[in-house]
């Protein structure tokens, strides 16, 4: 009897120890499971997807080697090793449970499908010369069933979320952002941007026989490069150059701003046996830009000596539209900024006439 009692006590103690070991094992297993779930993203931040009404929710966006079982949160579920597609019958938010199996290992994570109309799209253009970065103001939450579609207004498009685009010429461009699928909940936003180097690249020169000093009209930028058309170049801002033989030389000025914008201007310098020919009716001394223009017109001219200056603007029929300038002007540079609205200008052809004493110049202008 004593031995039986001893054995009974021993087995009860052993059973108790095994019970404790079992509890400890379960705790370890539970902690391990929690760690595994966290490692597999089970408790990671839930991602929200905007889904158009009557549009198709697709997951995963691109098929991979995994097997998926998805509970769409509306009482329906599906399984496949391809991308699963689902159309929600009503608008609202649905908790989507995704189970993914890869090589015998299964993990789970949740998504939220927000079914309804898209919010109003919006973007902010950030310019660095001809290069624009378009900052999309709506988070990229709809890539699973569509995406973004950009039209930059120059024939180039993009499907990136916040793309960058390099324009080739100065102009005004209508940039449109829209949801890629043109269905009942598509949304779009359009803005007009002005692409400009921000400076005028022209130049003039003052000659003395076969030597001339070349002067850029804008001296505020970072880098200047001259090509005189006779195999000689320089990076001086206002260089002095001599031509060794007669002929017509295409002199080019390349200006580059600190932001990397580069603009090239070329004009012909004529050299005869009498030396470099002075500028008489040269567009460097009298220029209106941009041309075509839209929101603003800049008129630039330079004088050497005192002259009577008259600037008049006519329409295509010859009717006087505006007396822009009339009076005596002295040596120097002059810039006149025209607001087309103030003169009630409309799209069409205009003629700008300029008199500098007895010198007469004209330029055709187009307003868009």
> Hey, which CATH number is domain 285-368, 3.90.420.10, 2.60.40.2550, 2.120.10.70, 3.30.559.10?
2.60.40.2550
213's enclosing H/E stretch is: strand 211-216
What mean pLDDT is reported for the chain?
78
Q: pLDDT confidence of 361, banded at 50, 70, 90?
A: confident
Q: pLDDT confidence of 282, banded at 50, 70, 90?
A: very low
For the chain, count helices (H), then strands (E). Answer: 1, 29
80's enclosing H/E stretch is: strand 77-80
Mind listing the pLDDT tens digit for each residue in 299-358? 888 777 788 899 999 988 888 888 888 888 887 778 888 888 888 898 888 888 888 887
Q: Could you tell me the residue ranges of all domains in the chain?
A: 47-116, 123-195, 199-279, 285-368
Sheet holding 233-234, edge to edge: 233-234, 223-227, 247-256, 262-272, 275-276
> Hey, which CATH number is domain 199-279, 2.60.40.10, 1.10.10.10, 3.20.20.450, 2.60.40.420?
2.60.40.10
Q: Does domain 123-195 have CATH number 2.60.40.10?
A: yes
Q: Does the reported pTM lie above 0.75? A: no
CATH topology of domain 47-116: Immunoglobulin-like (2.60.40)
In this predicted structure, which of 7-11, 56-60, 212-216, 223-227 has the lowest mean pLDDT?
7-11
- What gap in Å lies between CA 292 and CA 131, rounded to an integer? 21
Nearest to 98 by CA among 130, 66, 127, 136: 66
Q: Are 98 and 109 in contact (CB under 8 A)?
A: yes
What is the token pair recorded at 218? 């804008």
- What gap in Å lies between CA 147 and CA 160, rounded to an integer? 8
Q: 154 vs 131, which has greater pLDDT?
A: 154
234's enclosing H/E stretch is: strand 233-234
Query: Where is mean pLDDT largest: 122-126, 143-147, 197-201?
Result: 122-126
Whether the domain at 123-195 and the domain at 285-368 fall into the same CATH topology: yes
Q: 149 vs 227, which has greater pLDDT?
A: 227
- What gap in Å lies between CA 206 and CA 275, rounded to an integer? 12
pLDDT given at position 17 = 53
Distances (CA, A) of 302 to 66, 202, 264, 297, 306: 73, 12, 20, 17, 11
Percent of the chain with pLDDT over 90: 20
Q: 157 vs 19, which has greater pLDDT?
A: 157
Q: pLDDT confidence of 72, banded at 50, 70, 90?
A: very high
């Amino acid at each position: 009897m004593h031995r039986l009692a001893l054995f009974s006590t021993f087995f009860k103690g052993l059973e108790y120890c095994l019970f404790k070991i079992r509890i400890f094992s379960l705790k370890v297993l539970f902690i391990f499971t929690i760690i595994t779930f966290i490692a597999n993203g089970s408790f990671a931040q839930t991602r929200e997807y905007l889904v158009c009404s009557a549009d198709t929710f697709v997951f995963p966006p691109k098929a991979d080697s995994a097997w998926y079982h998805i509970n769409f949160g509306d009482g329906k579920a599906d399984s496949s090793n391809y991308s699963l597609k689902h159309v929600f019958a009503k608008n609202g938010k649905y908790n989507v449970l995704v189970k993914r199996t890869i090589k015998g290992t299964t993990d789970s994570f949740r998504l939220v499908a927000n079914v309804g109309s898209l919010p109003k799209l919006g973007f902010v253009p950030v310019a660095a010369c001809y290069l624009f970065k378009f900052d999309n103001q709506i988070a990229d939450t709809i890539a699973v069933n569509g995406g973004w579609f950009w039209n930059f207004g120059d024939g180039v498009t993009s499907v990136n979320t916040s793309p960058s685009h390099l324009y080739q010429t100065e102009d005004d461009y209508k940039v449109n952002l829209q949801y890629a699928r043109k269905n009942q909940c598509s949304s779009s936003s359009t803005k007009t941007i002005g692409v400009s180097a921000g400076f005028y690249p022209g130049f003039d020169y003052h000659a003395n026989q076969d030597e001339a000093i070349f002067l850029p009209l804008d001296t505020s930028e970072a880098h200047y490069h001259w090509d005189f058309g006779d195999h000689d170049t320089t990076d001086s801002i206002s260089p002095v150059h001599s031509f060794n033989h007669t002929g017509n030389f295409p002199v080019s000025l390349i200006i580059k701003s600190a932001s990397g914008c580069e603009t090239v201007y070329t004009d012909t310098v004529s050299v005869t046996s009498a030396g470099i020919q002075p500028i008489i009716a040269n567009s460097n001394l009298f220029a209106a830009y941009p041309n075509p223009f839209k929101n603003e017109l800049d008129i630039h001219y330079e004088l050497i000596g005192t002259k009577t200056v008259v600037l008049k603007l006519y329409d295509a029929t010859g009717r006087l539209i505006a007396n822009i300038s009339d009076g005596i002007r002295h040596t120097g540079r002059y810039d006149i900024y025209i607001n087309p609205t103030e003169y009630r200008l409309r799209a069409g052809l205009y003629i700008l006439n300029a008199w500098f004493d007895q010198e007469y110049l004209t330029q055709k202008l187009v307003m868009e």
